[in-house]
């Protein structure tokens, strides 16, 4: 019998790579002489999406991706809560016996949709601030 690894793929538990996805590709050195002293500086170089980044640029890219991902999750939450609010509004009309309960659930889910929309706005502003720090310009209407 040959010994083979049995890989189980689950929805949330994927196989983790042996090395970090963002492992340092190389170490960059720079040497500078100030008078009699020689100073050596080092910086790790990373690759994300086939683009080389320094360590600070790597952190900025990860933050930007995180803001974008959280913005999309907030949008999804706002849509889901809004859809549930509409469903409860329909149920209130359809089931007059429990209409009060359905109206309360409708209001709660509508409030959750507004909260998710606020979170999306917050993440969008955070993403803009992170991009402005990199030197990208945005045109503001107000």
Write down the pLDDT at residue 3.
53
Summarize the confidence of residues 9-25 as an average pLDDT. 52
Of the two residues 93 and 129, the one the predictor is more confident about is 93
> For residue 2, what are its two tokens?
């040959």
Write down the pLDDT at residue 56.
76
Task: Let me know how many helices (H) and strands (E) the chain has, helices first.
Answer: 2, 3
Q: Whole-angstrom distance between the N-terminal and C-terminal Cα of the chain? A: 72
pLDDT in tens, 38-65: 766 666 555 555 555 577 777 888 888 8
Tell me, yes or no, if the pTM score tops 0.75: no
């Amino acid at each position: 019998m040959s010994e083979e690894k049995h890989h189980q793929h689950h929805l949330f538990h994927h196989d983790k790579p042996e090395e970090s996805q963002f492992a340092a590709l190389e170490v960059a050195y720079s040497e500078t002489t100030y008078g009699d002293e020689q100073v050596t500086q080092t910086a790790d170089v990373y690759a994300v999406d086939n683009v080389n980044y320094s360590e600070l640029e790597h952190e900025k890219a990860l933050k930007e991706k995180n803001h974008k991902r959280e913005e999309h999750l907030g949008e999804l939450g706002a849509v889901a809560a809004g859809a549930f609010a509409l469903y409860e509004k329909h149920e209130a009309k359809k089931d007059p016996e429990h209409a009060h309960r359905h109206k309360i659930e409708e209001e709660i889910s509508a409030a959750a949709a507004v909260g998710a929309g606020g979170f999306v706005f917050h993440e969008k502003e955070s993403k803009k601030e992170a991009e402005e720090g990199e030197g990208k310009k945005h045109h503001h209407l107000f």
